[in-house]
A and B are shown apart, each in its own frame.
Chain A
């Protein structure tokens, strides 16, 4: 990509806060404001404020909006109640994952599909390709929204100071329209951190005012601005996949251990059904590789692409994401490994870290689960 990176509505705010910026999927985004470890700990124990305006919003409307999504995606979106959200995926005809998505049903005939920034155009194109024959319209709303997230155990208390919306009645993976600090917002109880929290979709023109109001409302609770670096370690600890790491067009949802998102029981045909049915059978009979968690015995950090080996040095898999875990105090990784070595507690598993084979413990995902 040779174009200058895009800037969010909060760009000047990030710079005034002294953020270290990074190019992420064509966007100039905050990587961190201070210490990424401190930002991570703030989200686990208090609250963090994120600018996620790079995420790609696509609106699908019309009498057959639900039917179109049932055809285009692997989930059962037509059955979703207005005000609720689902984690789902969009696949190719061969079952390969194009993106993972959150879909919000805003009304009977209106859905918002939220795609990863890097894949938003691909998802938009695929939805447009799959639209003919359905009484539904697909609209690119990437520029219509800024997205702010408040994540962490203190986030409900912080948000309550700024809105009359019924947050206690708002379940995990639900969303409702409301006013926050005088700003019209879609308030969603979703996130990518493993903590309770909210995502607020607002007009870009309102983003700065909302950021400032949240910062002020969260001051006493210890809310801090958080960058994408801690978002990555938070989602890794929570065992959540990241497209381009755990998910790709080379894998089906079943290969990624996420076959539960594929709803064969829904009405009508959907793109990828035949290939996914075969993939489901393959995964049940003879899984090729399995996504596992690895916890380091030592202090060297595994990185995406590093080989996983057995005690004899034979390659048995590959790291997809790795980082020092602030919560565990040790390096952790997700990796695809041969099924024979995938059981938690398997002995002799190593990661080849630039030539040194470091011992790792195989564990079940996630690494971290919040106390509810």
Chain B
């Protein structure tokens, strides 16, 4: 699987887009979506909520398990993907596109995030 070059990645398997006007998009990687299996329920943070890097901010449920959703950065949630709440299978079918989870206004520079190459190696390891 290809991890898009323009994104950065956390070791909790989230991706973060490059900021536009200080706002980045967050989702989970295809590797993570494949590991979960069919996602059936997504609980996202609320718009306006403050999230912190490495801390849980939601849940993803699949057929077999429930997993915490971690924020890869510090910031304030500006938008959540209602489409993915309605149709959680978007996380599996388009994890880097229509399956995005939330947008966050960054309050600090993201730290410790991986490049696509670094994440690919990390996920393979």
A interface vs B, CB < 8 Å? Answer: 20, 31-32, 35-37, 229, 233, 299-301, 303, 323-324, 331, 354
What residues of chain A lie closer than 8 Å to B40, measured between beta carbons? 299, 301, 324, 331
* Chain B interface size range: 10 to 19
Contact among B34, B89, B92 for A20, CB-based, below 8 A = B34
Q: What residue of chain A has the Cβ atom nearest to residue B93's Cβ? A: A35
| Contacting pair A299 B63 (CB below 8 A) | no
What residues of chain B lie closer than 8 Å to A31, measured between beta carbons? 37, 64
Interface of A is mostly: mixed
Determine if B12 is an interface residue (Cβ-Cβ < 8 Å): no
Contact among A20, A229, A300 for B61, CB-based, below 8 A = A300
CA distance A20 to B66 in the complex (A): 18
Q: What residue of chain A has the Cβ atom nearest to residue B61's Cβ? A: A301
| Contacting pair A301 B66 (CB below 8 A) | yes
| Contacting pair B41 A300 (CB below 8 A) | yes
Can you report 9 residue pairs joining A to B where beta carbons are below 8 Å apart? A32-B37, A35-B92, A36-B37, A299-B41, A301-B40, A323-B63, A323-B64, A324-B63, A331-B40
Determine if B38 is an interface residue (Cβ-Cβ < 8 Å): yes
Given A300-B61, A301-B61, check contact A37 B66 (CB 8 Å).
no
Q: What residue of chain B has the Cβ atom nearest to residue A324's Cβ? A: B40
Contact among A229, A300, A354 for B63, CB-based, below 8 A = A229
CA distance A331 to B66 in the complex (A): 13
CA distance A324 to B35 in the complex (A): 17
Q: What residue of chain A has the Cβ atom nearest to residue B43's Cβ? A: A300
Interface mask (B11-22 → A, CB under 8 Å = 1, otherwise 0): 000000000000
What residues of chain A lie closer than 8 Å to B63, measured between beta carbons? 36-37, 229, 233, 323-324
Name, among A229, A301, A303, the residue most crowded by chain B CB atoms within 10 Å (CB to CB): A301
Q: What residue of chain B has the Cβ atom nearest to residue A323's Cβ? A: B63
CA distance A331 to B92 in the complex (A): 19
CB distance from B67 to the nearest CB of A (A): 12
CA distance A20 to B62 in the complex (A): 15
CB distance from A90 to the nearest CB of B (A): 29
CA distance A93 to B92 in the complex (A): 49
Q: Supply 17 further A-B pairs (C-beta < 8 A) apart from A300-B41, A301-B61, A324-B61.
A: A20-B35, A20-B37, A35-B37, A35-B38, A36-B63, A36-B64, A37-B63, A229-B37, A229-B63, A229-B64, A300-B61, A301-B40, A301-B41, A324-B38, A324-B41, A324-B63, A331-B40
CB distance from A25 to the nearest CB of B (A): 16
Interface mask (B52-94 → A, CB under 8 Å = 1, otherwise 0): 0000000001011010000000000000000000000100100
CB distance from A177 to the nearest CB of B (A): 37
CA distance A198 to B72 in the complex (A): 48
Name, among B38, B66, B89, the residue most crowded by chain A CB atoms within 10 Å (CB to CB): B38
Name, among B34, B35, B40, B61, the residue most crowded by chain A CB atoms within 10 Å (CB to CB): B40
What residues of chain A lie closer than 8 Å to B89, measured between beta carbons? 37
Q: What residue of chain A has the Cβ atom nearest to residue B38's Cβ? A: A37
CA distance A220 to B34 in the complex (A): 27
What residues of chain B lie closer than 8 Å to A299, measured between beta carbons? 40-41
Name, among B37, B40, B41, B63, the residue most crowded by chain A CB atoms within 10 Å (CB to CB): B63
CB distance from B60 to the nearest CB of A (A): 11
CA distance A35 to B34 in the complex (A): 9
What residues of chain B lie closer than 8 Å to A331, measured between beta carbons? 40
What residues of chain A lie closer than 8 Å to B38, measured between beta carbons? 35-37, 324
Contact among B34, B35, B66, B92 for A303, CB-based, below 8 A = B66
CA distance A285 to B41 in the complex (A): 41
CB distance from A231 to the nearest CB of B (A): 12
Give residues of chain B (4-51) contacting chain A, Cβ–Cβ below 8 Å.
34-35, 37-38, 40-41
What residues of chain A lie closer than 8 Å to B34, measured between beta carbons? 20
What residues of chain B lie closer than 8 Å to A229, measured between beta carbons? 37, 63-64
Q: What residue of chain A has the Cβ atom nearest to residue B35's Cβ? A: A20
CA distance A354 to B61 in the complex (A): 12
What residues of chain B lie closer than 8 Å to A324, measured between beta carbons? 38, 40-41, 61, 63
Q: What residue of chain A has the Cβ atom nearest to residue B42's Cβ? A: A299
For the complex of A and B, the 8 pairs showing the least CB-CB separation, nearest first, are A324-B40, A37-B38, A299-B41, A301-B61, A36-B63, A35-B38, A36-B37, A36-B38
CA distance A233 to B62 in the complex (A): 12
Q: What residue of chain A has the Cβ atom nearest to residue B63's Cβ? A: A36
CA distance A233 to B40 in the complex (A): 13
CA distance A37 to B41 in the complex (A): 14
Q: What residue of chain B has the Cβ atom nearest to residue A300's Cβ? A: B41
